[in-house]
Copies of this chain bind each other. A is one copy, B any other.
Amino acid sequence: MSGKINNDDKWKITEDTLGYIISRIQERYEESLSEGDDDFNNGRKLAFYEVLDMMKNDLESRGYSLDDFK
């Protein structure tokens, strides 16, 4: 229940996890777009965008598209 997990366990869970994580961030980002246009919300929108952009790049550098995970 504690300590480091081994590699086999570690990656078994990603099979149903990465796609879910991406869709949740995407959802949060889309919700943020309809929120207020003040500095705070604009900073928040930017960070969600940055995260999705990083993930997009990480996936594209491996030959995949973010859309494949939606």
Q: How many residues of A contact B (CB 8 A)?
A: 37
* Complex: chain B residue closest to A57, CB-CB: B24
Residue from B15, B21, B47, B62 within 8 A of A55 (CB atoms): B21
Q: Contacts A47-B44, A48-B51, A51-B51; is A15 near B24 (CB within 8 Å)?
A: no
Q: Is the CB of A58 within 8 A of B11?
A: no
Residues of A within 8 A of B (CB): 4-5, 10-11, 13-15, 17-18, 20-21, 24-25, 28, 32, 38-48, 50-51, 54-55, 58-59, 62-64, 68-69
CA A24 to CA B50, docked complex, whole Å: 11
CA A51 to CA B21, docked complex, whole Å: 9
